[in-house]
Chain A
Amino acid sequence: MIPDISTFMIPLWYLLIPYGIFLLFFFVYVGFNLYHLLRFGTYGIGLYAITALFLAGTTMLVAVSYTLLSPYDWTASVSFADFFVRFNATRFFPGI
């Protein structure tokens, strides 16, 4: 008996799992980069400016990412039917 996969519901927050793993590696590498800059960089205003720019840019990008992701209802579920079975070219490419 083959199950009907079109009725499978996937919680939307499953998408956040790979994103969370990515963020974990991202912050680890941010830490590595900061460590190298502060440990081996040449003392001076330039070093502080670059470190501040890096931290500010990283914070801003993560904040923007959070802002773009927060409007979605991550507790909702979607089914394969919504995505695969009811594929509609007009719906996916309006204006064509």
Chain B
Amino acid sequence: MFHLDRIPNKHPDEKVVLFLRRQWFAWAGIVVGACLLLAVPTMITFYFWETISAWLSMPAIGPLVVVIASMYVLCVWLFSFLEFTDYYLDTWVITTHRVINIEQKGLFNRVASELHLAAVQDVTSDVQGIVHTFFDYGNVFIQTAAELERFALKDIERPEKVKELIIKLVDEDKKRHAKSVVAGVVEGSKMI
């Protein structure tokens, strides 16, 4: 289990500032899709109930229909929850020192990457479309000097605020580094 107070390689003075997932539309779509896949056959069953109840009373057709229906419902349930797990395990953790991106790409395929705030060059937020604008969700892109040039936080809520927060944290990180460099120089000159 991932504990927010026990993140890996934690610095002594590092604190978690924000924990993000994709906006709720992602899991709402899964729920709506599952409901439709279950509701349509149910409505067809009720509409043709006379025919289907005749089939269910037959010695061979009845068990076959029940077995197929059971398999269908269990499949819809399982695949919906697999998709939900995929959504649920995609997270971003913003701390005072870094941004951690954990992306679950299906079962047994997980990508976790870290970006230290010192490597951030530019932060951009992006909200496109009527729905995104009304519900205030979109993407935040972090341009870096690292090997992975662009970090993307996709479909997150309040991307503008997240962008401003990251910029503020980057500034604070730079000041912290400047202080530690000055402290190191002073220490060094004392030793001389």
List chain A positions with a Cβ less than 8 A from chain B.
Answer: 12, 15-16, 18-19, 22-23, 26, 29-30, 32-33, 36-43, 47, 50, 54, 57-58, 61-62, 65, 68-69, 72, 74, 76, 78, 82-83, 91-95
Contacts and interface: CB of A to CB of B under 8 A. Distances in A.
Contacts of A39: 1
B89 A65 contact: no
Given A32-B107, A69-B67, 19 more contacts: A15-B63, A22-B74, A33-B107, A36-B89, A36-B104, A37-B89, A40-B102, A40-B110, A42-B3, A50-B84, A58-B77, A68-B70, A69-B70, A74-B63, A82-B58, A93-B51, A94-B50, A94-B54, A95-B51
B19 A42 contact: yes
B59 interface: yes
B39 interface: no
B64 interface: yes
Which of B4, B51, B63 has the most chain A CB atoms inside 10 A of its CB?
Answer: B63
Chain B interface mostly = helix
B78 A26 contact: yes
Q: Which 4 A-B pairs have the closest CB atoms?
A: A65-B70, A78-B60, A43-B1, A72-B63
A36 B74 contact: no
Interface of B: 1-4, 19, 50-51, 54-55, 58-64, 66-67, 69-71, 73-75, 77-78, 81-82, 84-85, 88-89, 91, 102, 104, 107-108, 110
B77 A41 contact: no
Given A30-B78, A43-B1, A43-B4, A92 B54 contact: yes
B82 A29 contact: yes
A36 B78 contact: no
Chain A interface mostly = helix
23 contacts: A12-B59, A15-B64, A22-B71, A23-B74, A26-B75, A29-B78, A32-B108, A33-B82, A36-B107, A37-B89, A38-B1, A40-B2, A40-B104, A41-B89, A42-B19, A50-B88, A65-B73, A68-B69, A78-B60, A82-B58, A82-B60, A92-B55, A94-B50
